[in-house]
Chain A
């Protein structure tokens, strides 16, 4: 586990921080979100797929947990990074990991995070004209939302 971190640190220097086994998985914090693609390219040498992308909303910042997995080894690694600025955007990983495509679309759909240079950034689960991003913490399920039948949706 440690060797993956050393490999990352060799290129990125002190822009990465080792959490060790945080919770139950080996996690690495990426200080600068602009370095995500560089880090992903290094990780691609050892891991095959983006296993899942777990986004959490800590208003006003977003936390993104990229879990990578490999087909030959049982290892997983979590890369954690934060989006703090107001434009809610981060680089896409689709060029490095093809399996990131729909996971990023889902994050765009439910959280409204924009992935720069994503080839097909549309909503995936909800209709195109669905108002709001439901998994944000400031989206409250009011009676108005509950009683809405959705028949006026254009899509």
Chain B
């Protein structure tokens, strides 16, 4: 469709901005919803260890997450759109992580921060860590690094926004969960 071509030019444009468009109602609603979802990603900060300290500069000055629509308010699973799992998840913590994740409203997105959550990383031979949280929950974006720089959190949010726009996030691919 022409409109898609038009929209790809500017990531932050929304349907109907300055032009007359023709599309199916379902598609239009989906586009508007995705536009809203991707530009107001409120995170739940699930900070357990080192990466949580790098998450603090991500939210404060210098690397300012607010300009991406990532507002660190609430810190409650009930008001969160995405969960930033930053830090090692141990075997004792796994159940608690799932418990928090299940309380979040749909659609929910997951960003796994740090080498520990990607594959085990530095603790690949430890007896009490989980080697990659994709073993226990669906993950949309992985951030490598031990710990990653605050700018990489920014990059992950951009990637997640792109996934949401293209309907490719794990929550959207599972249609039954989001109506």
Contacts and interface: CB of A to CB of B under 8 A. Distances in A.
B40 interface: no
Given A126-B92, A127-B92, A151 B128 contact: no
A148 B125 contact: no
B61 interface: no
B128 A134 contact: yes
A149 interface: yes
A146 B136 contact: no
A48 to B, nearest CB: 32
Contacts of A134: 127-128
B34 interface: no
Given A141-B125, A141-B126, A147 B92 contact: no
Contact of B94 (A139, A146, A149): A149
Interface string B131-166: 100011000000000000000000000000000000
Contact of A151 (B90, B94, B124): B94
B127 A151 contact: no
A155 B90 CA distance: 13
B95 interface: yes
B128 A149 contact: no
Contact of B127 (A127, A141, A149, A153): A141
Contacts of B120: 146
A139 B130 contact: no
23 contacts: A126-B92, A126-B128, A127-B92, A130-B91, A134-B127, A134-B128, A139-B127, A141-B125, A141-B126, A141-B127, A146-B120, A146-B124, A146-B125, A146-B127, A146-B131, A147-B131, A148-B91, A149-B135, A149-B136, A150-B130, A151-B136, A153-B92, A155-B92
Interface residues of B, number: 16
A145 B124 CA distance: 11
Contacts of A130: 91
A57 to B, nearest CB: 15
Interface string A68-103: 000000000000000000000000000000000000
Contacts of A151: 94-95, 98, 136
B101 to A, nearest CB: 12
Given A139-B127, A146-B131, 17 more contacts: A127-B91, A127-B92, A134-B128, A146-B125, A146-B127, A147-B131, A147-B135, A148-B91, A149-B130, A150-B90, A150-B95, A151-B94, A151-B98, A151-B136, A153-B91, A153-B95, A155-B92
